[in-house]
Amino acid sequence: MSAAYGKGDKGKATRLHSIIIRSLGRCEACEYKCACADKWKHGVCKLQCAHLEGRTASGTRTQLRNAFSLCASCHRKFTDKPLTFNAFVDSSWAAEYKDHLVVLSRPMTTGQKMDWEEELVRLKAMHDDLKNNRLTIKEARELENDE
């Protein structure tokens, strides 16, 4: 596993979240389409998982609502231009989840700890549903954390 995702279940969940987001197969900003033969194995394509709230916040790190599938070029542009990124977010499906993400991304209080084992189980089940066409990314984002 790439060191970029981190260790243990947290790393596995982060990697799976990225795979799920990029399985969209296109850049959500410029509509660049991935040419990889298998959308679940992005070996060489330019799609990246771009977070709204950064990866340091455990509560939002692996939320589907907290990430876009972006091409490397758009990801770089938005990283350099936060105001442009903000305008893009406001014009996208993510606009309605902004307040929710702000709450979820708050630092956890003492004694609170993210259960990465449980989160990995959640993402694996979601991955399975997506792979077997029982769910779309759009639906998964809509359903997430509404319970």
Interface residues for Zn ion in 49-88 (CB under 5 A)?
A: 71, 74
Q: How far is the CB of 26 from Zn ion (least distance, A)?
A: 8
Instruction: State the Cα–Cα distance between residues 147 and 62, nearest whole angstrom.
Output: 17
Q: Which is nearer to Zn ion, 32 or 116 (CB)?
A: 32
Contact 15, 55 (CB under 8 A): no
Q: Which is nearer to Zn ion, 71 or 130 (CB)?
A: 71
Q: Which is nearer to Zn ion, 28 or 119 (CB)?
A: 28
Q: Counting contacts by CB under 5 A, is residue 21 touching Zn ion?
A: no
Q: Which is nearer to Zn ion, 24 or 29 (CB)?
A: 29
Q: Counting contacts by CB under 5 A, is residue 29 touching Zn ion?
A: yes
In the block, tokens 């850049």 appear at 27
Instruction: With CB under 5 A as the rule, give the number of residues binding Zn ion.
Output: 6
Instruction: State the Cα–Cα distance between residues 72 and 2, nearest whole angstrom.
Output: 18
- Tell me the residue type at 146: D
The residue within the footprint of Zn ion, chosen from 27, 50, 64, 137 (CB under 5 A), is 27
- The C-alpha angle with vertex 124 and arms to 118 and 126, in degrees rounded to 5, equals 105
Instruction: State the Cα–Cα distance between residues 119 and 74, nearest whole angstrom.
Output: 28
- Contact set with Zn ion (CB under 5 A): 27, 29-30, 32, 71, 74
